[in-house]
Every structure is written in structure tokens, then in C-alpha cells.
Amino acid sequence: MFTDRIEAGRKLAEKLKTYAGREDVLVLGVPRGGVPVAFEVAMALKAPLDILVLRKLGVPWQEELAFGAIAQGGVRVLDTRIMEMLNLTPAEVENVTAKERVELERREKAYRGDRPPLDVRGRTVILVDDGIATGSSMRAAIAALRQMRPARIVLAVPVAPPSTCERLRAEADQMVCVDMPESFYAIGQFYLDFSPVGDREVTELLARAAGLAPENVGGKR
């Protein structure tokens, strides 16, 4: 059990201390909840911080159940097993994708404004979220990152079920997880404080990491 995302980030940073002080390391947080965790990791490792924007694709009548995810760069990962099990039609899949792509673009603009993403080519990227459940969003994130040609992708989270970690080890170059409980229902069950993270907090943390005023990092909030 973590007190909050700050404590989770500090515990995760302990697991990643071999990457501290390296000039080739870049930390990417998954907005929104992954950014406070990633901020603590980036500060501990003395590494630059940026974001990788993802959106879960939720089943229309049960949005918490993901059948895939999209990421910046036009990447989409679909879970065909869930799609077939629920008889999702191509039209339903495309409608959800279009809706989430609008929100993905809005968030990118809100968090980054006109500032371009940090260049990950040839670098070791530590991709951080506040936890992983099924892993579909992270598969999309890793696929997006591969297109950007980093030297190495390290997937790092405070908590995830063992089965998900095992699947994602085949996708990333390294998987780092503080806790892998067998009994796993939702990420929030492992935090005393799992309050929602807003757009303003994301832009302010990016600003602090870059040494900028918040208005120079994001767009309108």
C-alpha cells in the first residue's frame, strides 16, 4: 500500500537508481496519474521529464473495460480477444477510436502547448505510470515509442499483477515493478490517496522539471 503517488514514485526511483546521473536517460510519464510518479523518478535520477499521451479504448457500454488503446503518433493497439468475446463491430471500434483521438490531441495541446516532444532517439527511455491493470495501454505506449527509435525502453510502475508484468516483459527491454500482488482488482486499491490528477497539476510538474513557469509549458487549461 502506497500513501500516494509521491511515495510510490520515490519507491520506484529506488528500484531504478542504476540509471541515476546518466546523460542518455529520459523519463516519460503517462498522463495524468503517471506524471506525479514520473516526476519523483526524474528528480531522483536527475533526468529530463516529458510525457507520452495515451487514451484507453473502452467498451461502449462498459467504458472501464478496455479493448485497446491509442498513443501519440497515430498508434493503436487492439485486444482482439475482448473484441471477439463482446462482438464489437468495426463501426463501434472506429467510433470509440475517433472520440478518444480528439481527447488525446486536446491533452497533448493542453500539456505541451507548442513545445515539441523531447527527442528519444538513441536514448534510454523510462516509461512510468501509477500502475498497470491489463496492460493494453502500455502495449500502445511501447509500440508508439518503438517508432521513435529509442535505444532502450524501461517500463516502470509501482504496482501491477504478475500476469501483466510477465506479458509486458516481452514488449519492453526491461520491466521494473515495486509490487506484484496476486490479488489485484484495481490500481487504486493499492493507494491510500488515489485522488484524480488534473491537467493543471500535469503542466505544473512538467514546468518544475524543466525549470519553467507553468504558462510556458502547457496551453490553456
- The set of residues, in sequence order, having a beta carbon less than 8 Å from that of 140 and lying 6+ positions away, is 54, 68, 69, 70, 71, 75, 76, 77
Q: Please list the rounded mean pLDDT of every run of 10 residues in the chain (221 residues).
A: 96 97 95 96 95 89 84 84 92 95 90 82 96 86 88 97 92 96 92 95 91 48 33
pTM: 0.85
Q: Which 8-state DSSP code applies to residue 17?
A: G
Which residue shows C-alpha cell 470509440?
A: 96
Structural domains of the chain, ranges and CATH numbers in brackets: 5-52+118-216 (3.40.50.2020), 56-110 (no CATH)
H/E segment holding residue 199? helix 199-210
